[in-house]
Structure 1
């Protein structure tokens, strides 16, 4: 079985699109795709997996997950939002992502909200969480190993790995369900605002 510290490192969890990675000029869709492919090339499960496609970007635009593009060019703010969508869509439905980002899009376009500063705060939290994740999976491996202390034989490695898979998927589901509940709360809050409650 793989060492959990090495596993965490192999996942390239600290590969994000950082504001400094984005040129100071607006980009066409093909340039956006190239930037994301270059930035996230080590994060896909299989070598042929695409990080971002024209269809994905068009679906995000049609679904109004980010504010409208002008002259077929994407601003730095668009790219920051697309990066957040990329991260969130792994756990949430596109509808939930839209609900989560709806007010942020409004704040950026209508209130002059500093999305870059907010995004940098988000990246700081992600950096902190990568370290916590690495420690947590190492702790989980130790707990699983202790749980199976008395199990011996050729199946022990398999059983240990299976327990880790089961525990990791359960934890993933806990976080996803918590995020969905927060999205539902956002939707309720927005609905109450529209109705003047």
Structure 2
């Protein structure tokens, strides 16, 4: 089995759609899909896996997760919003994403929110986070190796099982807190209506 540090380095954790990668001109759906495929290709588990599909984008549009497009073209702001949806969909339900992004969409439509600045800040924060996450993963792996007492050919399996369980617990904890924060935002905006 590959060592954990090698798996971490080859998992595409740093993959981001940078603001500089998004053209200033509106794109058609196929061009948006190509942009995402290029940016997130290294995150695929399997070669035939799709990062983004026409169906996904159409579902996001029908679900009003981003404001309507014009002339079948997606602006830079649409692409930024689709990128945020792409990252959120692994953790939150689409209805939560919709309620979370609705105030943002309204502000963007009214030209009252600097979406590009927000997105650049967000991607910078993600880069810092990924560095910390990698360090924490290695630390947890070392801690597991110190704790596991089972000796023999199954030692590596037991260590990896512990690591997978710990990573899953961490993921669940972050998801729960993210959901609670969505609920707080919803409560705040419902009070304002």
TM-score (norm 2): 0.97
> Which residues of structure 2 form unaligned runs of 5+?
none
Question: What does 1:21-170 correspond to in 2, within 5 Å?
Answer: 21-148=21-148, 150-170=149-169
| Residue 5 of structure 1: how far off its partner (Å) | 2.4
Q: List 4+ stretches of structure 1 deviating above 3 A.
A: none
Aligned residues: 193
Q: Report the Cα offset of residue 22 of structure 1.
A: 1.3
CA distance in 1, matches of 2:181, 2:3: 34
Query: Which structure has more RCO (C-alpha within 8 Å, separation ≥ 6)?
Result: 1
TM-score by length of 1: 0.95
Root-mean-square deviation (CA, aligned residues, Å) is: 1.0
Aligned partners of 2:90, 2:112: CA distance in 1, in Å?
A: 29
Deviation of 1:65 (Å): 0.5
- How far residue 111 of structure 1 moved from its aligned partner, in angstroms, is 3.8
Q: Which runs of 5+ in 1 are unaligned?
A: none
Tell me the equivalent position of 1:181: 180
